[in-house]
Amino acid sequence: MAEENGNGNGENSREREETMPGGWPFVHSVGDVWAAAGSVLGERWLTDYELVYFPDGSATIYETGGETYRLDKPCFIFTRPGERHRYRFDPDKNVRHLFVHFDYGELRQGDARFESLLAGSPLLPVSGNSLLPALLGQMMRIADFRLAHWKRRLAVLLSSALEELCASADNALEELARPLPLPISQALTYMEEHLEEPITIEAIARQSGWSHEHFTRMFVASVGLSPKRALLERRLRRAELLMLSGRWTVKQIAYRVGFRDEHHFSKMYKRLRGMTASSYIERCENSLARHALPAPDTVASVSANRHVLVNEQIK
């Protein structure tokens, strides 16, 4: 379901000027959509670029240029303008995917930084230590709630995502596909299982069998965040799921995600998300996103579609 911008022409002009300085992508739309089991999208071709993130592996098939790609692991699909393609979604389960449609002068001009996107495989694997899923998720959050300077922020985040996709061009795919070291995976699992508890980084480090200092160095190298920040992000994401349910107060949520002080939780949430927890709850009261909470194979999940128009395409 597309959402109209709803702003006056003057505001549209200001937003466009804000979004299109030289060197930045121009975002057309973003979405977070469940495709019904067995559905088919295409055959189609686009006039702009599309980046699609599949957070879970499935039997979904992407077809383009006479080639077939099975999306059986978490991955990105990058489609270029004019490329005929088709998605045949998993016949047995509903499939979630996040996407962004955009144009970008740097890509149109064949900038060497983006060689792997311009000439490589459309299938880009992603591992649990990649920053890319978080970047796409943050873009969806910003667009969903029209946070301050939202169009400019979408352009900046998309630019970062594209740079990440093309980083270290000679071994980008191998780096993205590389699994986390087992001690780091064990530490992340421990975080998830103890989010309600006031756990310390020292306790998390012990799960790895390494010293606190060595664990911190390895964690930052593998995940791209400090252990403290990663734990905080996981607590905030868990809090957002609880806020979407509409069944808990801010105080109750704070305790359920490991904060022992409601005010500290509210302060950290506003600092990192740019809005108060109470505002997030209020904005979610009538949101379709709430229906995405049931298991992925329910009818309710299929209806949990968000498609936000950001800028009209320039003809």
pLDDT at 80 over 90: yes
What mean pLDDT comes out for the span 46-65?
95
Q: What is the pLDDT of residue 242?
A: 84
Q: What is the pLDDT of residue 153?
A: 92
- Write out pLDDT tens, residues 174-201: 554 456 788 998 898 899 899 999 899 9
d(CA 123, CA 120) in angstroms, rounded, equals 9
77: β partners: 52, 123
Which of 93-97, 115-119, 276-280, 308-312 is least confident? 308-312
Q: What is the pLDDT of residue 300?
A: 32
- Write out pLDDT tens, residues 261-298: 899 999 999 888 888 888 888 777 654 444 444 333 33
d(CA 103, CA 105) in angstroms, rounded, equals 7
| 8 Å CB contact between 94 and 297 | yes
Number of H helices, E strands in the chain: 14, 11
Domains of the chain: 2-177+297-309 (2.60.120.280), 182-284 (1.10.10.60)
Angle between helices 227-245 and 182-193 (to 10 degrees): 40
Q: What is the pLDDT of residue 67?
A: 95
What mean pLDDT comes out for the span 4-13?
38
What mean pLDDT comes out for the span 234-240?
87
Q: Which residue has the higher pLDDT, 252 or 125?
A: 252
| 8 Å CB contact between 202 and 263 | no
Q: What is the pLDDT of residue 141?
A: 84
Percent of the chain whose predicted confidence (pLDDT) is above 90:
39
What mean pLDDT comes out for the span 103-130?
84
Where does the pLDDT of residue 248 fall: very low under 50, low under 70, confident under 90, or very high at 90 and above? confident
Where does the pLDDT of residue 315 fall: very low under 50, low under 70, confident under 90, or very high at 90 and above? low
Alpha helices in the chain (DSSP H): 9-19, 105-108, 115-119, 132-145, 150-166, 172-177, 182-193, 201-208, 212-223, 227-245, 250-256, 262-273, 277-284, 299-302
Q: Which residue has the higher pLDDT, 274 or 76?
A: 76
Where does the pLDDT of residue 258 fall: very low under 50, low under 70, confident under 90, or very high at 90 and above? very high
User: How much is the pTM?
Assistant: 0.61
| 8 Å CB contact between 120 and 176 | no
- What Cα–Cα distance (Å) separates residue 71 from each residue in 25, 45, 53, 64, 172? 26, 20, 10, 13, 18
